[in-house]
Structure 1
Amino acid sequence: MRRVSLLLLFYLFFWSDVSSQQSTVLISGAVYDSETGESLPSATILIDGTYRGTISNPEGEFSIEADTLPVTLQVRYIGYRTTRIRITDKTVFPLQIMLERAVTEMEEIVVTDRDPGLSIMETVIARKQIWRKNLQNYSVDAYTRQVLSNDTSIASVSESRSVLYWDRERGIREIQQEVRQTSNLSADQNFSGVRYLPNFYDDDIEIAGFNMVGITHPDALRYYRYSLIETTVMDDVPVYKIEVIPKRERQPLFEGVAFVHGGDFALLEVELRPNRVVTFPPPVQDFQLSYMQQFSNYGKDFWLPVDVRIEGVIRVGIVGLQFPSIQFRQLSRLSGYEVNTAMPDSVFAVESDFVRADTSATDSLKLLTEMVQIPLTEEEQIAYETIDSTQTLEEAFRPEGFLARMIDEDEQGNGGGNGFLSGLGAMVPDGFTIKARFNRVDGFHAGLGYRHTFEAINQRAELSAGYSFFSEMWDVSAGVRQRLWQGNEAVLSLEFLYMNATDTRYRSQIYPPIMNSIATISGAEDYFDYFRNEKLSAEIRARQLLPYTRISIGGTHERHRSISGDVLDYSLFGFHKTRRPNLPVEEGLLNSFYAEININHESGTLGFSGTNGFEIRGEWSGPSLGSDFSYLKVQASGELSIPTFYRRRLFANQLHIFFTGGTATSGMPVQRHGAIDGSLARFTPFGSLRTRNGLPYEGSEYWFVTAEHNFRTIPFELLGLWPLVDRGWGIILFGGAGSAGGGSNGLPGILNSEGTHTEAGLSLNSVFGILRIDIAKRLDDRGYFIGVSVPRYF
């Protein structure tokens, strides 16, 4: 499982019926400097008169297919004279191609206030607009090799041969034809391909989720400075080496160099890397990427990629869990373009942009010899020969630290050892769960639950029972959920529930009972008041009838009783205020109908991530239902997450808004009050009034709105505090206001707000990757409050 997770983590950062072409002859050789004899990596080898080409590997070696002979090879390398070689059926392979250095004899450049590199790139951008508008589609054969390494050696090699289809209107599709990988990977773990690779001639380029402005974007001059570094020659035509420098320090942009063909004013090659804005919050500790790509027009109208070369390093870890560095290398060759031709409709009829190769009849040895490829390096060949199925990625990237040792112990326990975590798990049979809580009314509560699914009849049943040691009362519950219908993602179900248990007088949209139990036993104020509820309910629930939508309609029959008597004045360490009394409720029989519509709204996220969702609920009770209470109640809540600044980043600055409110007619009992959440001890999550310490506000009529703007690392970038930026620390400004009142019905101690409670503050986000520190000021009254919560990541 961890192996699959590592692959998915890794490929987060880097990214038609077609038969395999049969080659008539495979041309192979190597390219060297004629003076020094050194190999020339990434030399471009093209077949004249075609859209077919390849590049040499790091040792200068290459191979390329030719359908017929004779052909002429064109071998070029920036700063060298291009060589043309005639290949016939009498040519002996492998070829040894010696390239001569070009002698640069250029006219003097007149120095002005305007850098010549700027004028050159203006021309490149203008000419691109001319030829690019006529490029409607293409298909191309692709060979890709991906190599994963740790700090010491290669961990895996995977290769693929595929056909890529690009259409201006319909997008990209890639069809794998052949795959090969070291024996520690399976074919379904071979993600090698080119569909997600950048074309640096594009206007907008996505790198690891960041939307980057390309260096030939029509507005590129607003984002980049271009400086001419030097001029060399290729084919008696000047080649300009131009430095690419970001103008905007807080935009995700590229930096590096571009080589421009001085005759056509087109990109020949780029060597680029994302600027330091392209970073990720913890647990990512280091992230580095570099890209190299060459282009050719193959003597025709369009400048298309010949290759893509990527090198990257990721380091991931938290306190107590440190992974080895994940080093990534990818090499892709694009050859045999067919441009502006009829694209098969069957290719784009497939919804997925990637179709895997059929490996059911794969002969890996055959592929080893027949797959047309950029030759393996010696190190990669050794990896194929020596890596076996036991050398898993899990082993290659095994973490270190005390958390890693706990995981290892648990895994050993699952295999029959005595790991701590597995030892606890072994005490509870499958289907059973341990239930525990603590509050000032029940004291310690312990119980056991059981859940079983009857697959044959699409039914799930649950039972639970537990005992409270201070109140000396039992909680029991039983429930059945029957699936009535299912179609694709839509589900219609019927649920019945019976319970006789301690219940909370008001509902929290943030804090589950276990969280309050931990806070209370540690000495904090008990957040809730309690009563006994014997309840029988039935509900019809429809999920995904519409996207992201849940609709519930149901009815309840409930008998409510107050819990009288003393409360338990106890905490684990003895550091607590005297426990407040538990307030009574309005006793009686409550029968009601309710309906609820939920559109992508989830409570209890604690502000870890932002969503866009809404929920509305209505409930009616009256004498005609045999109820002792008569009321109509409507409540709603929702959340908005709106990108604001720096939208080209993976995580833009965002405005997050949470709102909730409700109203009811007179006659609603206090145990149906709505609530505005406050902080729980020093825990101050998004969606709470942070300066309302330890208790909520409640009432029959209530409203609450809170908003925060996440500036992420931008303030520290402006101040040049890069160590904090690199650690992912950020700044959040927030504010909120709310009011709750009415509905006391003569009962004492109801937690109304007595006016509008307002506050504002500042948060230091992602401290050490695991904390958010909130500093809040109450505006309608005196007081500051400092608390902690989970970091805002998304």
Structure 2
Amino acid sequence: MKLPCSECSIVSFRRRRIRLWFLISLGLAGTQMYSPQATGQVLITGSVKDSVTQLPLTSAHVILDGSNLGTITNREGDFEITLPSLPATLIFRHIGYHPARVELTPNDTRVIHMSLEPAAIELPELLITGDHLATGIMQEVIRRKAARRVHLESHNARVYTRITLQNRDRIVLINEAVFDRYFAKGSGIRDVIRSMRTTSDFHEQLGLTLAPQDFSSDHVQINGLSFFGPTHPDALEHYTFTFAGRRVWDGQQLYDIYIAPKSNQEATLIGRISVLDGVYALVEADLKPAPHVVFSPDTRDWSVMYRQNFAQVDSFWLPTDLQLQGWVHVEPNGERVSPAVVEQAVRFMDYQANEPVPSAPFTVEEQLQVDSTSVLRDGLFLMGLDMVALTARELEALEDLRWEKPLALREAFPPTTSALASAVELYDFQIWDRPQFSFPVVGGFIPWLAYNRVDGTRVGAGRVFSVRNNRKIAARIGQSIGFGRTRLGVALNRQETQSLQTSVVYEQNTRPQNGMLIHTEALNSLSSRLFAQDYFDWYWSKSLRASARYETKGIRMMLSGEYSFVDSMQTQIRRPWPLNKEFPENQSIRPGQRQSLELRVATGSMWHPYHIDPQKRVEARIEFGHPHGSRADLRATLLADYNFSTFMRRRPTPPRLSLRILGGVTTPSASRDRWHVAEGSVGLIGELGTLRSIRNRRLIGRQMIGAHWEHDFRSLLFEALRIRPLVEHNVSMRLGGAHVYINGRWIHELTLSIARAPVRINFTRRVDQPGIFVGFGIAGRN
């Protein structure tokens, strides 16, 4: 029985995540207490195969004759259905096969293995095929769908859905839910979960949702993108349709049609659809996102195939099931995890068209909601609701998972042991800040190579060692050719809890004065060695630092204290051939002891100085310093990134505006090497957040504020000019600016860029100076 929404406690699914992994045990126990035989009901199980190939048929329909009671087969062709009584007749249907009937009496077996015969159709000797036939069919499909939907004011259905995720070794998540789907014209769809059993709830972090797609709708939502549906009113403008053949379904003729995008500038699908002759309705879809579609930067890969069947409800054609299978690689907020194999089975039941639907779900903006009262009671599962049968592997995994605590995303999908992953592990607990790019692992060791004007060439290596009780030790050692002091770093890290991490680090090394904000030591090494002067000033440091990191509800905090001894370093290196000249003198600092205490608070994505992919983050840093023999000082820093789509948002890569705010202030007592910097370019390399017209140096001041922006117009200009090669190769045009206040004056720049990943060319004009500054940068894939 469906509960009226006015009597339910409905909350947003995103605002209130209900972890009910313990209900699996309760549900299994309840299922044992619930016996179909005890109530006169009969459980029928079995399988459906192709009679020729003997392969299992997925999504075959098993229906009780004369009723709307039925189920579908899982990916192994297995099914289970509970009948109210015997005798009864079951009908087996699958598109492209002759239907079959089985009559059951009280004395018959309760296990049925059915083989369906393929339905062959003889094509006439002369058949006009190709785009014209397919286009004509689709025109009629779109016309009739519009005519039918005019009369569809509302509908509701009960939906069963199950998501299964597995890593390289085993199944790590099984999530089942039953919900009511309500549709109201003008208000859209709302899904209210009535019953749920889950082992973990991290599937949402991977862009997966319990709410199934409807590929007969005008727009289809997949992983945050809105795709044009194959029966969209303007589908003929976005897709090329090609006739593929004919089949038989329940004595009627089907047209198979290939569908492919006309342009790579829109979120479109690719695959095959089937149309029923006579009524010209969509009855089957096998689709996936087109290869050119680019999802959010967190999504590394999305290789998922969707299969959906449709059936007549009154005079309307609505989805009856959905099967999706494939693999996804999503790293939410930059969290490194391995790819996931995903499978989802969905079944729609008990449709009612043009019947009143409750208004309460439509008062909440989110589509997926939770009826918490019904979920906690879990009545639908315990009452023996027919579901899509679990496979043998899923049953075995469910037995294991119900005794484990719910897994977190990183526990379920640990990063693969690759060169990059191993390198990141060394930086994960901050011998220094985690880099955006890093050296690969060679023979289990991470190389350390750098060049600057005080060290010359510096070489070394590091390695991470795991010890017991969630502890890790990292060590690295190096030596420079010019400045003959040994570089050493040793760190001890402990994972106290899932949210708390502590570390102690001892390091003796050269450090850049005023720190690193945008440009890295690796880029400076390359630039210094080949053709430019050293971008940084350097000093010698021996330091001992203790820190604690804590993360909760998307907010990251780090508190660290450091005791150090610092000293100046003099320039001793001549520039190598072909320059063969001395570097400019390195800036001196006041030697002595220092103590500092720093607090960092951040939310959003990790800090990536080179703005390759869109970022959304805010970070505040406050550092209290006390040099020996001097007055204490305070240093505050703000880093913020934001981006949003500006227009044409249905394109897979819509035009986007990116913003970066950098600012800071220090007290008058702070020494010059602790002031804030406005970054320039290193050689010809300038990124968002830098002043590209200032070459090979940085501006330093006690107060600094910088607003940097860039609008990526994608290939719109080249599309308007009909320069097809640039459009096909995803060449984009970007317009940006930098507005920086430092040392009592403003500096304004405008930049026009031409980009194709991974390179961009920048043309910069500084407002108060003549000339155009030409440079280069890194262009991201999104």
**Same fold (TM > 0.5):** yes
Match of 1:80 among 72, 83, 97: 97
Q: Does 1:95 align with 2:98?
A: no
Distance change (3 Å), C-alpha of 1:226 and 1:50:
farther
Match of 1:224 among 239, 244, 262: 239
- The structural deviation recorded for 1:29 is 3.4
- CA-to-partner distance for each residue in 1:161-192, whole Å, 9 max, x for gaps? 41232223153123141425xxxx44787999
Q: Is the 8 A contact 1:164 1:174 kept in 2?
A: yes
CA distance in 2, matches of 1:83, 1:734: 64
- CA-to-partner distance for each residue in 1:441-462, whole Å, 9 max, x for gaps? xx999xxxxxxxxxxxxxxxxx
CA distance in 2, matches of 1:255, 1:437: 57
- The structural deviation recorded for 1:689 is 2.7
CA distance in 2, matches of 1:517, 1:177: 54
- The structural deviation recorded for 1:711 is 2.7
Q: Does 1:162 align with 2:178?
A: yes
Q: How many residues align?
A: 599
- The structural deviation recorded for 1:118 is 1.7
- The structural deviation recorded for 1:293 is 0.4
- The structural deviation recorded for 1:259 is 1.4
- The structural deviation recorded for 1:262 is 1.1
Name the SS for the 1:679 alignment partner: coil
Name the SS for the 2:491 alignment partner: helix
Q: Does 1:268 align with 2:283?
A: yes
Distance change (3 Å), C-alpha of 1:53 and 1:792:
same
CA distance in 2, matches of 1:34, 1:432: 64
Q: Is the 8 A contact 1:244 1:258 kept in 2?
A: yes
RMSD: 5.9
Q: Does 1:127 align with 2:130?
A: no
Matches within 5 A, 1:555-570: 570=570
Match of 1:355?
370
- CA-to-partner distance for each residue in 1:300-334, whole Å, 9 max, x for gaps? 222121111111123579xxx99654221211122
Q: Is the 8 A contact 1:27 1:64 kept in 2?
A: yes
- The structural deviation recorded for 1:339 is 3.0
Question: Percent identity among equivalent residues?
Answer: 22
Q: Is the 8 A contact 1:606 1:686 kept in 2?
A: yes
Match of 1:492?
none
CA distance in 1, matches of 2:569, 2:383: 78
Name the SS for the 1:689 alignment partner: coil
Match of 1:277 among 292, 299, 304: 292
Match of 2:191?
173
- CA-to-partner distance for each residue in 1:666-722, whole Å, 9 max, x for gaps? xxxxxxx99976336766231433121224499999999864435389999965999
**What amino acid is aligned across from residue 181 of structure 2 in structure 1?**
Y
Distance change (3 Å), C-alpha of 1:609 and 1:349:
same
Q: Is 227-236 or 203-212 further displaced after alignment? A: 227-236
Q: Is the 8 A contact 1:516 1:680 kept in 2?
A: no
CA distance in 2, matches of 1:426, 1:156: 28
Q: Is the 8 A contact 1:75 1:82 kept in 2?
A: yes
Q: Is the 8 A contact 2:195 2:381 kept in 1?
A: no
Name the SS for the 1:420 alignment partner: strand
**What amino acid is aligned across from residue 692 of structure 1 in structure 2?**
I
Indicate the structure (1 or 2) with the bigger Cα radius of gyration: 1
CA distance in 1, matches of 2:518, 2:72: 63
Distance change (3 Å), C-alpha of 1:220 and 1:53:
farther
Q: Is the 8 A contact 1:148 1:155 kept in 2?
A: yes
CA distance in 2, matches of 1:701, 1:249: 42
Distance change (3 Å), C-alpha of 1:782 and 1:137:
same
Name the SS for the 2:692 alignment partner: strand
Q: Does 1:654 align with 2:656?
A: yes
Match of 2:316?
302
Match of 2:391 among 352, 356, 377: 377
Match of 1:497?
none
**What amino acid is aligned across from residue 183 of structure 2 in structure 1?**
D
Distance change (3 Å), C-alpha of 1:643 and 1:351:
closer
- The structural deviation recorded for 1:211 is 1.7
CA distance in 1, matches of 2:573, 2:718: 41
- The structural deviation recorded for 1:255 is 1.5
Q: Is the 8 A contact 1:710 1:731 kept in 2?
A: yes
Q: Is the 8 A contact 2:749 2:764 kept in 1?
A: no
Q: Is the 8 A contact 1:51 1:338 kept in 2?
A: no
Match of 2:469?
415
Match of 1:591?
none
CA distance in 1, matches of 2:167, 2:727: 31
Matches within 5 A, 1:565-576: 570=570
Match of 2:353 among 339, 360, 368: 339
Output the TM-score relative to the length of structure 2: 0.60
Matches within 5 A, 1:586-735: 607=611, 643=645, 647-656=649-658, 678-679=680-681, 684-693=686-695, 694-696=697-699, 707-709=710-712, 711=714, 719=725, 731=732, 733-734=734-735
- CA-to-partner distance for each residue in 1:607-627, whole Å, 9 max, x for gaps? 46668999xxxxxxxxxxxxx
Match of 2:154 among 104, 123, 137: 137
Q: Is the 8 A contact 1:269 1:295 kept in 2?
A: yes
Q: Is the 8 A contact 2:162 2:210 kept in 1?
A: no
Name the SS for the 1:251 alignment partner: coil
CA distance in 2, matches of 1:514, 1:106: 67
Matches within 5 A, 1:536-555: none
Q: Is the 8 A contact 1:81 1:101 kept in 2?
A: yes
Q: Is the 8 A contact 1:53 1:336 kept in 2?
A: no
CA distance in 1, matches of 2:196, 2:154: 24
- CA-to-partner distance for each residue in 1:213-237, whole Å, 9 max, x for gaps? 1000000011112222222222332
Q: Does 1:311 align with 2:325?
A: yes
- The structural deviation recorded for 1:400 is 0.4
Q: Is the 8 A contact 1:187 1:359 kept in 2?
A: no
CA distance in 2, matches of 1:527, 1:738: 25
Name the SS for the 1:130 alignment partner: helix
Q: Is the 8 A contact 1:27 1:65 kept in 2?
A: yes
Distance change (3 Å), C-alpha of 1:215 and 1:120:
same
Matches within 5 A, 1:489-568: 524-525=534-535
Distance change (3 Å), C-alpha of 1:404 and 1:98:
closer
Name the SS for the 2:221 alignment partner: strand
CA distance in 1, matches of 2:534, 2:574: 11
**What amino acid is aligned across from residue 687 of structure 2 in structure 1?**
P
- The answer for unaligned runs of 5 or more in structure 2 is 1-16, 18-29, 427-462, 476-488, 539-566, 576-581, 589-603, 619-638, 664-674
CA distance in 2, matches of 1:49, 1:527: 84
Match of 1:633?
none
Distance change (3 Å), C-alpha of 1:118 and 1:411:
farther
Q: Is 217-226 or 403-412 further displaced after alignment? A: 403-412
Q: Is 35-44 or 709-718 further displaced after alignment? A: 709-718
Distance change (3 Å), C-alpha of 1:264 and 1:64:
farther
Name the SS for the 1:118 alignment partner: helix
Q: Is the 8 A contact 1:699 1:740 kept in 2?
A: no
Q: Is the 8 A contact 2:472 2:493 kept in 1?
A: no
Distance change (3 Å), C-alpha of 1:516 and 1:55:
closer
CA distance in 1, matches of 2:705, 2:363: 52
Match of 1:327 among 341, 365, 386: 341
